[in-house]
Amino acid sequence: MSKIKYVIFDMDGVIVDSEPVIMKAALDALKSGGIPAALDDFTKFIGAGEEHFIIEPCKRAGRVDLTDEIMERMFTNFENLIADMKVFPSAKPLIEGLLKRGFILALVSSAARRKLLASLNAAGIDPDSFDVILSGSDVAEKKPSPVPYLTAAERLKADTGECLVVEDALSGVRSAKSAKMTCAAVTTSFAASELKQAGADYITDDIIEILEII
Ranges of each domain in the chain? 6-17+86-213, 19-84
Taking residue 17's Cβ as centre, other Cβ atoms within 10 Å add up to 18
Across residues 4-15, what is the average pLDDT? 97
Confidence check: pLDDT of 103 > 80: yes
123 pLDDT band (50/70/90 cuts)?
A: very high
Picking from 53, 36, 35, the residue whose alpha carbon sits closest to that of residue 44 is: 53
Q: Which of 196, 207, 158 is nearest to 174 (CA)?
A: 196
The answer to whether the CB of 146 falls within 8 A of the CB of 171 is no
Catalytic residue among 12, 17, 41, 168: 12
pLDDT for the residue numbered 49:
80
Q: How confident is the model at residue 110 (pLDDT cuts 50, 70, 90)?
A: confident
Question: Which architecture, in CATH terms, is 6-17+86-213?
Answer: 3-Layer(aba) Sandwich (3.40)
- 3 state DSSP class of 191: coil
Please state, as a whole number, how many other Cβ atoms lie within 10 Å of the Cβ of residue 180: 14
The pLDDT score that the predictor gives to residue 200 is 98
**Across all residues in the chain, what is the average pLDDT?**
95
128 Cα distance to chain centroid: 17
Q: Using one digit for the tens of pLDDT, what is the confidence trace for 130-164?
A: 999 999 889 989 899 999 999 999 999 999 999 99
Q: How far is it, in rounded angstroms, from Cα 46 to Cα 34?
A: 23
Number of neighbours of residue 179 by Cβ within 10 angstroms = 22
Active site residue 10: yes
Over range 94-112, report the average pLDDT.
96
- 133: Cβ–Cβ under 8 A, 6 or more apart, which residues? 106, 107, 113, 116, 127
Q: What are the tens digits of pLDDT across the range 18-77?
A: 999 999 999 999 999 999 999 998 888 876 788 999 999 999 999 999 999 999 999 999
- Which of 10, 17, 41, 168 is an active site residue? 10
Q: Give pLDDT, residue 17.
A: 95
What was the pLDDT predicted at 31? 97
17 catalytic residue (yes or no): no
The pLDDT of residue 201: 98
Is 2's pLDDT higher than 80? Answer: no
Distance CA 185, CA 128 (A): 24
The 10 Å Cβ neighbour count of residue 157 is 10
